[in-house]
């Protein structure tokens, strides 16, 4: 051994550290902070990064990196790195703390789980040397002669930034106050003993140190933040409401119909409100709509500037890269997709498209929350389709937005309908924000509001009751959309139409899309819908409301609340370039379980939103205008959240970890429960159809894990529990013994063993 390694790849300690220091320099230069704030951070972060891995010089750790022994008996190199920093003069506590915790959280409190925490038994606090620490220090001293040349290279790099450091010859115990490592809220705990300003600063330094380590390991240098004013948002003159939102300085609310240029208006607002180095976060409710917006924004701002952030981002990015037939190339693209997804979680992409869950994860202090403190100040947040969220998520969004606003963040709330009650809730949380919508006194805006794209007809009974009417309409139209509320209903209608129409229409012209397809098959169907001509018939569930840029000639819908119906209608005569299209809405649904209300197994409660929606639509004259739909939405949602919905909203709005952020900020720790709560808000798990098991295993064995996971089917927990006898929970992933086909997806009601 003639040099000290930092990576098993053969990268030396000085090579890795300098790569991380370069990342740190670029990172801090890109922050939306004042020059004075950046100067303070630059000094502390560079010091922390310079010393974060010096503990790896220990003899035992080097043997692990060189493959001479399997592990280092759970000894923590960062403890020796922090001891090294403690042995130098005038090293701030924030630097020592960042070094100590750049891999693990502060030690456990003896009550909660200790997974991912530093072990108390290894920590030498204020001259209390532990046996394990003595062993690690001895091993480090054994390699001191080899370490010094590496350290001199690091010091030479730092001296260029005015930070001269000197070598040391004896490690000292940690000089941190013990309170830094105490989770308790008692008198000696971190929250009571250490000031908020010091905890806040230490958290930023820790977050930037961790991110610099990650970027340095990936050999990535942070991007400079683009001036989004230099990009063309509109190729034609803006509508009057777009001009107004584009001149609005500060947070605001925008209501504009689908297809009116609402997104372009939001981006014009972002151009007006971007501050120096300010990021842009575009937040949407559904994975499919996020993927579509990511594609849209990359066309404007370029691939290099736009990141994708949701729980299936790796798979989505892999799909964008387009798989090659050669396995080695597919594995290479798989790694590229993973790297891009990982970078989206770091301070990397200046523009990110994400779910609100990713933002709430930060404000609730889930894993990686510290990066928020450095990059989010002075950013722009666009919360699109704000009406579409669960009441608890709306509460968490508004609570988070209020917190972020105190850091200079500017928020724009968007919706095609924007019920009055929701605007009132935003006003109560964020203040009396400007409310912008198309102006009926301006000709171009009036054209948007008065546009009449649909003739709506209400029918008693269900979609099955009127199948003959639907079949006749299908024969007379180039394209027909049928939207059902449940997967099972959509599968039944699809099968029924195929049987009836098989003599008249090629079966490949009749398509089905719902949530119980695996992503491989769903992506194939969606790509065909977006790229090619429309099918003669598309039977769908609510997935069509958010993900597809399609334009059908006519439609038939099961009953739903007004906002859902408006989204569905947006897929019919989408741009209003044709005469008003026929839309038939049935007053009852096939499935006895009412998805949108609590009227299960009985007639609709007169106050439920589905019933009120039907009542309102009956009052509107045909053809229906956008102005009529907005007015109807206001009436349907006039009472706002009530009962259980109100309780959930208030729980989110008043969540103590956000509302009292300063009081609860614990440096060097994250809340493990956040990921499970946030990721499972929609109550969905993924299962593997038994017929795809062999294909799944072959993909895994070839190393194509993204392609293997694309065979999994998302299913609601409620559905799983109702079909528990068909699921093998002993495997990972769970295997479900139900029929699956690329044309119809997973059919929970049909067990494979019973299919002949």
- Where helices occur in 376-419 by DSSP H, the ranges are 391-405
Contact 581, 557 (CB under 8 A): no
User: Residue 9 contacts by C-beta under 8 Å, 6 or more apart in sequence?
Assistant: none
Give the model's pLDDT for residue 50.
Answer: 96
- Residue-range domain boundaries for the chain: 13-217, 228-439+653-672, 451-640, 683-754
Query: Which span out of 63-67, 315-319, 747-751 was modeled with the highest average pLDDT?
Result: 63-67
Query: Greater confidence, 749 or 164?
Result: 749
Closest CA to 96 of 189, 174, 172: 174
Give the model's pLDDT for residue 111.
Answer: 64
Give the model's pLDDT for residue 755.
Answer: 39
Rounded to an integer, the average pLDDT of 43-59 is 96
Which tens digits make up the pLDDT trace of 565-584? 998 998 999 888 899 999 99
Q: Is residue 325 over pLDDT 70? A: no
Q: Lowest-pLDDT range, 212-216, 271-275, 597-601?
A: 597-601
Closest CA to 454 of 627, 575, 580: 580
Mean pLDDT of the chain: 87
Q: Lowest-pLDDT range, 87-96, 682-691, 733-742?
A: 682-691
Q: Lowest-pLDDT range, 481-490, 501-510, 592-601?
A: 592-601
pTM score of the predicted model: 0.88
Which tens digits make up the pLDDT trace of 383-434? 998 888 889 999 999 999 999 999 999 999 999 888 899 999 999 999 999 9
Q: How far is CA 571 from the centre of its chain?
A: 25
Give the model's pLDDT for residue 526.
Answer: 81
Give the model's pLDDT for residue 118.
Answer: 92
Rounded to an integer, the average pLDDT of 471-494 is 96
Closest CA to 290 of 264, 274, 310: 310
Cis bond upstream, residue 512 (ω within 30): no
- DSSP state, residue 129: -
Q: Is residue 259 over pLDDT 50? A: yes
Closest CA to 657 of 677, 641, 640: 677
User: Residue 312 contacts by C-beta under 8 Å, 6 or more apart in sequence?
Assistant: 287, 519
Q: Is residue 680 over pLDDT 50? A: no
CA 672/CA 60 separation, integer angstroms: 31
Which tens digits make up the pLDDT trace of 494-539? 999 999 998 889 989 999 999 899 988 888 888 777 656 799 999 9
Which tens digits make up the pLDDT trace of 185-196? 666 789 999 999
Contact 374, 208 (CB under 8 A): yes
Q: Is residue 439 over pLDDT 90? A: yes
Any idea which architecture 451-640 has in CATH?
3-Layer(aba) Sandwich (3.40)
Q: How many CB atoms lie within 10 A of CB 537?
A: 24
Q: Lowest-pLDDT range, 142-156, 306-320, 472-486, 557-571?
A: 306-320
Give the model's pLDDT for residue 184.
Answer: 75
Q: Which CATH superfamily is domain 228-439+653-672 in?
A: P-loop containing nucleotide triphosphate hydrolases (3.40.50.300)
pLDDT band at 346 (very low <50, low <70, confident <90, very high): low
Rounded to an integer, the average pLDDT of 272-300 is 89
Burial 171-196 (b: 16+ CB within 10 A, else e): bbbbbbbebbbbbeeeeebbbebbee
Q: Is residue 316 over pLDDT 60? A: no
- DSSP state, residue 119: -
Helix axes 13-29, 196-217, angle to 10 degrees: 120
Contact 268, 428 (CB under 8 A): no
Q: Is residue 754 over pLDDT 50? A: no
Q: Is residue 159 over pLDDT 90? A: no
Q: Lowest-pLDDT range, 144-148, 318-322, 473-477?
A: 318-322
Q: Do domains 228-439+653-672 and 451-640 have the same CATH topology?
A: yes
Q: Is residue 601 over pLDDT 50? A: no
Rounded to an integer, the average pLDDT of 372-393 is 90
Q: How many CB atoms lie within 10 A of CB 117?
A: 19
- DSSP state, residue 750: S
> Torsion angle, CA of 439/441/447/452, rounded to 10 degrees?
90
Give the model's pLDDT for residue 315.
Answer: 56
No. of helices (H) and no. of strands (E), the chain: 33, 20
């Amino acid at each position: 051994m003639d040099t000290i390694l930092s990576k098993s790849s053969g990268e030396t300690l000085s090579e890795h550290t300098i790569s991380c220091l370069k990342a740190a320099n670029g990172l801090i230069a890109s922050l939306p902070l004042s020059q004075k704030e950046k100067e303070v951070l630059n000094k502390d972060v560079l010091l922390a990064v310079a010393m974060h891995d010096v503990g790896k010089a220990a003899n035992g750790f080097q043997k692990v990196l060189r493959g001479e022994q399997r592990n280092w008996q759970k000894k923590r190199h960062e403890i020796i790195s922090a001891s090294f920093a403690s042995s130098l003069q005038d090293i701030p506590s924030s630097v020592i703390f960042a070094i100590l915790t750049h891999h693990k959280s502060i030690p456990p409190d003896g009550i909660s789980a200790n997974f991912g925490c530093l072990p108390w038994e290894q920590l030498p606090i204020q001259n209390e040397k532990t046996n394990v620490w003595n062993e690690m220090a001895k091993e480090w001293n054994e390699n001191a002669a080899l370490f010094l040349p590496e350290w001199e290279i690091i010091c030479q790099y730092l001296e260029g930034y005015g930070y001269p450091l000197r070598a040391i010859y004896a490690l000292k115990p940690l000089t941190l106050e013990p309170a830094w490592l105490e989770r308790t809220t008692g008198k000696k705990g971190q929250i009571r003993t250490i000031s908020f300003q010091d905890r806040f600063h230490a958290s930023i330094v820790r977050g930037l140190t961790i991110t610099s380590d990650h970027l340095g390991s990936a050999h990535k240098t942070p991007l400079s933040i683009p001036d989004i004013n230099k990009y063309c948002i509109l190729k034609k003159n803006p509508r009057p409401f777009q001009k107004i939102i584009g001149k609005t300085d500060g947070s605001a609310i925008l209501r504009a119909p689908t297809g009116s240029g609402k997104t372009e208006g939001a981006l014009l607002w972002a151009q007006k409100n971007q501050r120096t180095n300010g990021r842009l976060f575009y937040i949407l409710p559904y994975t499919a709509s996020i993927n579509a917006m990511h594609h849209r924004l990359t066309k404007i701002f370029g691939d290099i500037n736009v990141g994708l952030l949701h729980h299936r981002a790796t798979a989505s990015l892999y799909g964008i890269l387009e798989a090659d037939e050669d396995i080695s190339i597919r594995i290479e693209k798989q790694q590229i997709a993973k790297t891009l997804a990982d970078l989206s979680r770091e301070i990397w992409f200046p523009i990110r498209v994400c779910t609100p869950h990713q933002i709430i994860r930060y404000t609730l202090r889930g894993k990686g929350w510290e990066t928020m403190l450095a990059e989010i100040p002075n950013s722009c947040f666009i919360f699109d389709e704000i009406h579409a969220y669960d009441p608890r998520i709306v509460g968490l969004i508004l609570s988070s937005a209020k917190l972020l606003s105190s850091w200079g963040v500017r928020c724009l709330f968007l919706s095609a309908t924007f019920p009055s009650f929701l605007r009132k809730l935003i006003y109560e949380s964020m203040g009396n924000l400007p409310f912008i919508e198309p102006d009926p006194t301006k000709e171009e805006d009036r054209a948007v509001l008065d546009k009449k794209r649909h003739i709506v007809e209400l029918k008693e009974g269900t979609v099955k009751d009127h199948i003959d009417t639907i079949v006749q309409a299908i024969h007379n139209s180039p394209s027909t959309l049928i939207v059902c509320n449940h997967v099972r209903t959509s599968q039944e209608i699809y099968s029924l139409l195929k049987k009836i129409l098989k003599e008249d229409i090629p079966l490949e012209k009749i398509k089905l899309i719902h949530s119980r397809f695996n992503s491989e098959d769903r992506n194939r169907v969606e790509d065909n819908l977006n790229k090619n001509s429309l099918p003669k018939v598309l039977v769908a569930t609510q997935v069509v409301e958010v993900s597809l840029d399609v334009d059908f000639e006519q439609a038939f819908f099961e009953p739903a609340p007004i906002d859902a119906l408006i989204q569905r209608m947006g897929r019919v005569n989408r741009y209003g370039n044709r005469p008003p299209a026929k839309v038939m809405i049935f007053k009852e649904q096939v499935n006895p379980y009412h998805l949108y209300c609590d009227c299960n197994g009985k007639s609709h409660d007169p106050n439920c939103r589905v019933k009120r929606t039907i009542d309102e639509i009956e009052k509107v004259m045909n053809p229906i205008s956008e102005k009529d739909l907005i007015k109807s939405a206001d009436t349907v949602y006039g009472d706002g959240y009530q009962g259980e919905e109100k309780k959930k909203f208030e729980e989110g709005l008043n969540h103590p970890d956000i509302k009292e952020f300063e009081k609860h900020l614990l440096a060097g720790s994250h809340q493990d429960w956040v990921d499970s709560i946030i990721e499972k808000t929609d109550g969905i798990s993924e299962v593997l159809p038994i017929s795809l098991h062999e294909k799944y295993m072959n993909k895994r064995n070839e190393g194509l894990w993204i392609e293997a996971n694309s065979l999994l089917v998302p299913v609601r927990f409620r559905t799983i529990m109702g079909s528990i006898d068909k699921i093998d929970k002993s495997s990972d992933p769970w295997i479900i013994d139900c029929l699956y086909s690329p044309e119809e997806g997973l059919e929970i009601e049909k067990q494979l063993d019973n299919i002949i």
